[in-house]
């Protein structure tokens, strides 16, 4: 019933949080559909550290950090790259034993969502503006599956907001 209101509500909440916190918001046009992101004016290393702490503060362990920006810089010449995409960019992958169990007990196929990931990046055209976000997981399947996936989405959102001071 509320699915038609989810996207506008997410955008409204994001903009309200942005206005209240004095940070810059990533507009819906700059992020792919299904991606939630928050932007903050700060040094990349500080925001990255805050993101790591936000994950740990929720009792989680980071399994892997993907250094996407470094990889793109390193391989740019080899693949015909024409511009610098990021000043810095990383994705952190982690799992929650509690939430993952709920999600997969509801539907074993939900293994496709694990591990969960959040990203952090800074672009050369917006130096000092750091974006933190995540892919919104589709809340599909049984009611139990939808509820459990909703909890994962809430966790990812809380982590991204904490990292950006929202």
Quick one: average pLDDT of 72-97? Answer: 95
- Across the range 59-76, mean pLDDT stands at 96
**Does the pLDDT at position 44 exceed 50?**
yes
**Structure confidence by residue, pLDDT tens digits, 101-126:** 999 999 999 999 999 999 999 999 99
The pTM of this model reads: 0.81
Mean pLDDT, to the nearest integer, of 90-99? Answer: 96
Q: Side by side, which strands form the sheet with 116-122?
A: 35-41, 129-135, 116-122, 88-95, 61-66
Q: Which residues on neighbouring strands pair with residue 88, listed in sequence order?
A: 122
| CA nearest to 128, candidates 48, 69, 41, 47 | 41
- Tell me the C-alpha distance between 127 and 62, whole Å: 27
With 80 as the cut, is the pLDDT of residue 137 above it? yes
Euclidean distance between CA atoms 3 and 139, whole angstroms: 10
Helix (H) or strand (E) holding 54, with range, is helix 44-57
Give yes or no for residue 148 having a pLDDT over 50.
yes
Residue 144 has pLDDT above 50, yes or no: yes
Q: Output the pLDDT for position 30.
A: 83
Please give the average per-residue pLDDT across 49-53, as a whole number: 98
- Element at 35 (helix H, strand E): strand 35-41
């Amino acid at each position: 019933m509320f699915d038609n209101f989810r996207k506008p509500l997410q955008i409204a909440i994001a903009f309200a949080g942005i206005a209240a916190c004095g940070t810059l918001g990533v507009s819906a046009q700059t992020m792919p559909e299904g991606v939630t992101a928050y932007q903050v004016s700060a040094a990349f290393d500080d925001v990255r550290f805050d993101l790591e702490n936000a994950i740990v503060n929720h009792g989680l362990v980071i399994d892997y950090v993907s250094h996407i920006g470094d990889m793109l810089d390193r391989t740019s010449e080899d693949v015909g790259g024409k511009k610098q995409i990021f000043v810095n960019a990383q994705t952190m992958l982690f799992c929650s034993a509690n939430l993952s169990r709920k999600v997969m007990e509801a539907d074993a196929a939900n293994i496709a969502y694990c591990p969960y990931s959040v990203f952090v990046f800074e672009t050369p055209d917006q130096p000092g503006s750091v974006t933190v976000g995540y892919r919104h997981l589709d809340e599909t399947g049984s009611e139990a599956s939808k509820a459990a996936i909703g909890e994962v989405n809430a966790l990812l959102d809380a982590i991204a907001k904490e990292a950006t001071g929202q």
